[in-house]
Amino acid sequence: MKISKRAQQLSPSVTLAASSKAKKLKSEGKDVLNLTVGEPDFATPKNIQEAAIQAITDGRASYYTPSAGIPQLREAVVEMIRKVYGLDYEAKNVIITDGAKYSLYLLFQAMLDVGDEVIIPVPYWVSYGEQVKLAEGTPVFVSCKQENEFKVTVEQLEAARTKQTKAMILNSPSNPTGMIYTEAELTAIGNWAVEHDIMIISDDIYGQLVYNGNTFTPIATISEEIRKQTIIINGVSKSYAMTGWRIGYTIANEELIGAMNNIASHSTSNPTAVSQYAAVEALNGSQETVEEMRQAFEARLNTIYPKAAALPGFKLMKPQGAFYLFPNIRETLTLCGYDNVTDWVDDLLDEAYVALVTGEGFGSADHIRISYASDLAVLEQAIERIAAFIDKKIQANN
Ligand code: PMP
Ligand code: GLU
């Protein structure tokens, strides 16, 4: 049997591939420090776990749910958006999905026809382009400059715009760069999108993970016109340490939510019931643990950033949010006698047992991504190992 062209043209998720490789080595007894995947190391907070257990023992988790999600969870999302964003939506504007990743998947399936273009600023999160291609749309990649904190400008967007441009993706705080768009930048981008009737897909998944006095402004809050042009993507994975539960959501106009819901009803039926009950508690319950975890990430960033920045040849900006460092290591490669990041990352894993992700999956061959969603001792040890590895390579190269 021949595999479909659709599947053949797809590359696997580099983040998940790197994480699987690291986990496999670990299971073989190797002392691997895994800084690959963007996954909080914390256990899901107790109150959320208990809500899930309760839903199981009550028998509520045994059954299919409405495919757009249980009403309580759609209402909890509406309430959260009212409190945190100050925006009024109704439950009919919300669909609950199997992670934010499946929100994006459904969205592209529901909004794109063959040849419709989606502008994706580079560096980007690994799945955007592949998901657009799966919907037979065309990703249009726009390279952002490190000097501009890897943020896309209206001039760049305008240069990329064609008659086929249907949407653009905005991910602030960004995975992998950690940068946050300012209100002025969002206003300019939002007004441009309104003027040309281009939908803004606002991936807000790291919105609660901002550090050192930086603030996150959701683009949907800039003006009523921009809000109408915006589709909000979010989920509980990152802020509530719930990656394994697979709950995300989309907020958009009723027509689009309905189209996504039709596709969901024929593909997953509904997100796992027990996870939905857990997510209700995540959104409605005490937010104290969210703040505690945010503070822990902030402390890790503040400890680890100066050490990473001091590594030979590493060029990186201090992230403002999310939980990744994204250094340009072109100079390090030269010092170490390598010509590409992939070989360097492979050798770092094989020789020093530190697992990272290459920048290639994020659209940048000169970078690596380091997830700092691990505990401080692991992070510090990893930096020491990377320093020793670089030292060894520099000596061998001289
Ligand atoms: N968007 C971004 C930018 C991400 O980093 C992730 C992490 N996987 C997702 C969406 C999807 O998250 P999830 O499916 O776990 O909700
Ligand atoms: N978003 C996380 C990351 O970038 C999880 C892995 C994935 O879904 O790709 O590492």
Q: What is the pLDDT of residues 183-208, one digit of tens each?
A: 999 999 999 999 999 999 999 999 99
227, pLDDT greater than 90: yes
Sign of CA dihedral 295, 296, 301, 307: positive
11, pLDDT greater than 90: no
Q: How far is the CA of 249 from the centre of ligand 1 (A)?
A: 11
Q: How far is the CA of 228 from the centre of ligand 1 (A)?
A: 23
DSSP string, 13-29: PHHHHHHHHHHHHHHTT
The residue among 347, 389, 356, 360 whose CA lies nearest residue 374 is: 356
**Res 179: pLDDT:** 98
385, pLDDT greater than 90: yes
Q: Which atom of ligand 2 lies at the shortest distance from residue 176's CA?
A: 4
- Any ligand 2 atom below 6 A from CB of 15: yes
> Whose alpha carbon is nearest atom 4 of ligand 2?
38
Q: How far is the CA of 193 from the centre of ligand 2 (A)?
A: 27
Q: Which atom of ligand 2 lies at the shortest distance from residue 205's CA?
A: 1
DSSP string, 137-158: -EEEEEEPPGGGTT---HHHHH
Q: Which atom of ligand 2 lies at the shortest distance from residue 36's CA?
A: 10
The residue among 8, 77, 32 whose CA lies nearest residue 248 is: 77
CA distance 70 to 277: 8
Q: What is the mean pLDDT of residues 381-397?
A: 96
**Res 252: pLDDT:** 98
Q: Which atom of ligand 1 lies at the shortest distance from residue 104's CA?
A: 10
- Which of 39, 242, 246 should be mutated for ligand 2, with most atoms under 8 A from CB? 39
17, pLDDT greater than 90: no
pLDDT tens-digit series, residues 372-382: 999 999 999 99
15, pLDDT greater than 90: no
Q: How far is the CA of 126 from the centre of ligand 1 (A)?
A: 10
pLDDT tens-digit series, residues 279-294: 999 999 999 999 999 9
Instruction: Write down the domain spans for the chain.
Output: 5-43+288-388, 63-284
| Confidence grade of residue 249 (pLDDT, cut at 50, 70, 90) | very high
13, pLDDT greater than 90: no
Long-range CB contacts (within 8 A, 24+) of 347-351: 347/389, 347/393, 348/386, 348/389, 349/21, 349/22, 349/25, 349/32, 351/389, 351/392
**Res 299: pLDDT:** 97
Would you tell me how many other CB atoms lie within 10 Å of the CB of residue 243?
18
**Res 12: pLDDT:** 83
**Res 14: pLDDT:** 86
- For the chain, the distance separating the N- and C-terminal CA atoms, rounded to the nearest angstrom, is 52
* CA dist 17 → 21, 36, 162, 355 (Å): 6, 9, 34, 11
- Which of 175, 362, 371 should be mutated for ligand 1, with most atoms under 8 A from CB? 175
**Res 43: pLDDT:** 97
- Across the chain, mean pLDDT equals 96
Q: How far is the CA of 208 from the centre of ligand 1 (A)?
A: 14
| Confidence grade of residue 148 (pLDDT, cut at 50, 70, 90) | very high
Query: Taking the complete model, does pTM exceed 0.85, yes or no?
Result: yes
- Contact, 168 vs 157, CB < 8 A? yes
Element (H, E) at 166: strand 165-171
Q: How far is the CA of 349 from the centre of ligand 2 (A)?
A: 19
The domain 5-43+288-388 is placed in CATH, from the list 3.90.1150.10, 3.30.300.30, 3.60.150.10, 2.40.30.10, at: 3.90.1150.10
CA distance 184 to 90: 28
62, pLDDT greater than 90: yes
Residues within 6 Å of ligand 1 by CB: 38, 99-101, 125, 171, 175, 203, 205, 235, 237, 243, 248
Q: How far is the CA of 15 from the centre of ligand 2 (A)?
A: 6
Q: Which atom of ligand 1 lies at the shortest distance from residue 125's CA?
A: 3
63, pLDDT greater than 90: yes
CA distance 266 to 263: 5
> Whose alpha carbon is nearest atom 5 of ligand 2?
38
> Whose alpha carbon is nearest atom 7 of ligand 1?
38
- Which of 107, 122, 172, 205 should be mutated for ligand 1, with most atoms under 8 A from CB? 205
Q: What is the mean pLDDT of residues 334-346?
A: 95
- Any ligand 2 atom below 6 A from CB of 133: no
Q: Which atom of ligand 2 lies at the shortest distance from residue 99's CA?
A: 8
Q: CB-based burial of residue 220 (10 Å sphere; 0-12 exposed, 13-18 middle, 19+ buried)? A: buried
CATH architecture for the domain at 63-284: 3-Layer(aba) Sandwich (3.40)
- Which of 37, 201, 238, 242 should be mutated for ligand 1, with most atoms under 8 A from CB? 238
Percent of residues, the chain, with pLDDT higher than 70: 100
CA distance 167 to 170: 10
